[in-house]
Amino acid sequence: MPITPPEGFLEGLLCQVGVLLLYILLTLAIVVAQLFGISAVQIDAARDALSNACAV
């Protein structure tokens, strides 16, 4: 089910910024996990799920 932005312009913009920040944080978590030799499969799956949920 896609994530639908709120009605107003500012609310929609803030929603998209929040999704972008989550994506960046998950990507950073994958990089850190790989640096420490930890499997990042679950983090990668969460990032892919976020991407798929936000695809319009």
Can you tell me the mean pLDDT for 22-47?
Answer: 92
Q: Which residue in this structure is represented by tokens 């499997």? A: 39
- At residue 1, the pLDDT reads 55
Residue 3 has pLDDT above 70, yes or no: no
d(CA 51, CA 14): 17
pLDDT category of residue 31 using cuts at 50, 70 and 90 = very high
Q: Global pTM?
A: 0.72
Residue 33 has pLDDT above 90, yes or no: yes
Q: DSSP string spanning the chain?
A: -PPPP-SSHHHHHHHHHHHHHHHHHHHHHHHHHHHTT---HHHHHHHHHHHHHH--
Distances (CA, A) of 45 to 8, 9, 17, 23, 52: 31, 30, 21, 12, 10
